[in-house]
């Protein structure tokens, strides 16, 4: 058993041992070991040439990563908070995402942008956002949201091997969670969803930390004889539409749960895919989305919890959808 953050560190270390073109770049990733301790020990293992501390300039970090990727390197850049992607949007959206297309496939941009995302740590409005829908909207970018240590290691391996820019979101509340993770190299293909819990009555498609909350909610709902299927897309781009559609056809109900603000969130994309698919005629109730409130993430712990879906919210949503009296919260 190792933690989510240790699994990420293992993936980075193994890939750096395997491929000398892989290197790390970012703020405080060397001596300090990263804002959340994920890169601790990698400077001693690989040296300052391959673990490069930078000034506090996200645009410079992203620009350097794009340039080095175009020359054949495979940079892994760390932005301490996913919110800071906003400072590097020109390099990310107008350069990294476009250059392979504009060069007719001749110029590859094989970089991985790692960023700590989400609320739950009291980091307040500028350090707690979930902005995955922004980057998922951009052609040329791939978007990954692992919810377990096992997935984090296998998906990061696949992301580093990919010849396209990949945004790799790591939820801050998941760093200390533990799971069984093989020590050796293994890879999880991008674009392959995982059914974390089999069920027959309703499908919950949840992302990142909401997968864990959905699983707790499912256990509570089981006491009411409600059998919940919890499906984790693992990657938003590419998205495993077939597995989602097959699950909804089986259960006849769909609840999509994400931490990001509901308005404009990726849940709307998942809902529309199902509504436009052969699963539509299997639905026995309208699709429901459960997301964050349209407010900046508050600093207050109680208000912070109120701003994003909690286990109780998931339980209540399922009960309402299925017309079950609320008794098990």
Give the active site residues.
Answer: 127
Q: Which of 213, 202, 199 is nearest to 147 (CA)?
A: 213
Could you give phi then psi for residue 229, rounded to 5 degrees?
A: -100, 125
Q: How far apart are CA 79 and CA 94, in angstroms?
A: 18
178: number of Cβ within 10 Å: 13
Radius of gyration over every alpha carbon of the chain, rounded to an integer in angstroms: 20
Cα distances from 319 to residues 166, 274, 289, 325, in angstroms, run 37, 21, 14, 7
| DSSP 3-state of 166 | strand
Tell the residue number behind the tokens 């250059």, with chain if given.
99
| DSSP 3-state of 18 | helix
272: number of Cβ within 10 Å: 11
DSSP letter assigned to residue 89: H
Q: How far apart are CA 133 and CA 135, in angstroms?
A: 6
């Amino acid at each position: 058993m190792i933690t989510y953050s240790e699994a990420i560190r293992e993936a980075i270390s193994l890939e750096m041992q395997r491929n000398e073109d892989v290197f790390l770049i970012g703020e405080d990733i060397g001596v300090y070991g990263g804002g959340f301790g994920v890169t601790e020990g990698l400077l001693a293992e690989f040296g300052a040439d391959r673990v490069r501390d930078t000034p506090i300039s996200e645009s410079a970090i992203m620009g350097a990563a794009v340039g080095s990727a175009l020359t054949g390197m495979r940079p892994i850049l760390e932005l301490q908070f996913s919110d800071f992607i906003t400072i590097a949007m020109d390099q990310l959206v107008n350069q990294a995402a476009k250059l392979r297309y504009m060069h007719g496939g001749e110029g590859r941009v094989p970089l991985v942008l790692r960023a700590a995302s989400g609320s739950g740590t009291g980091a307040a409005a500028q350090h707690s956002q979930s902005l995955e829908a922004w980057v998922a909207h951009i052609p040329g970018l791939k978007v990954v949201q692992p919810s377990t240590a096992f997935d984090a290691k296998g998906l990061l391996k696949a992301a580093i091997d990919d010849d396209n820019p990949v945004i790799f979101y790591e939820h801050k509340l998941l760093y200390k969670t533990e799971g069984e993770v093989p020590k050796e190299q293994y890879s999880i293909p991008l674009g392959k969803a995982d059914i974390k819990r089999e069920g027959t009555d309703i499908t919950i498609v949840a992302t990142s930390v909401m997968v864990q909350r959905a699983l707790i909610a499912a256990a509570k709902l089981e006491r009411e004889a409600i059998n919940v299927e919890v499906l984790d897309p693992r990657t938003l781009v590419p998205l495993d539409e077939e597995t989602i559609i097959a699950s909804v056809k089986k259960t006849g109900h769909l609840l999509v749960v994400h931490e990001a603000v509901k308005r404009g969130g990726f849940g709307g994309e998942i809902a529309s895919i199902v509504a436009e698919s052969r699963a539509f005629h299997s639905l026995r109730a309208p699709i429901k989305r459960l997301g964050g409130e349209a407010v900046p993430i508050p600093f207050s712990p109680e208000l912070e919890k109120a701003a994003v879906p909690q286990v109780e919210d998931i339980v209540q949503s399922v009960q309402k959808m299925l017309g079950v009296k609320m008794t098990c919260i």
